[in-house]
Amino acid sequence: MLGWAGVGVAMGQAPQGVKDVADVVTASIYEDGTVLVLEGLRT
């Protein structure tokens, strides 16, 4: 699914195999990793 999405983002607590195929690894869910990615998409 990460490859299909065009840009794969893995959360910081994801298994290493997921991080290895992701384009970007963000902070964990406990460190607001999703928020960091979404804020980075703002123009």
Question: Would you list the domain boundaries of the chain?
Answer: 9-40
11-43 pLDDT, tens digit per residue, is 999 999 999 999 999 999 999 999 999 998 886
Structure tokens at 37: 């990615």
Give 30's contacts (C-beta < 8 A, 6+ positions apart). Answer: 13
Neighbour tally for 31: CB within 10 Å? 13
Q: Is 28 left (phi over 0), alpha (psi -120 to 50) or beta?
A: beta
Output helix, strand, coil percentages for the chain, rounded to the nearest 5: 40, 10, 50
pLDDT of residue 6: 81
**Whole-model pTM?**
0.78
- In three-state secondary structure terms, 14 is coil
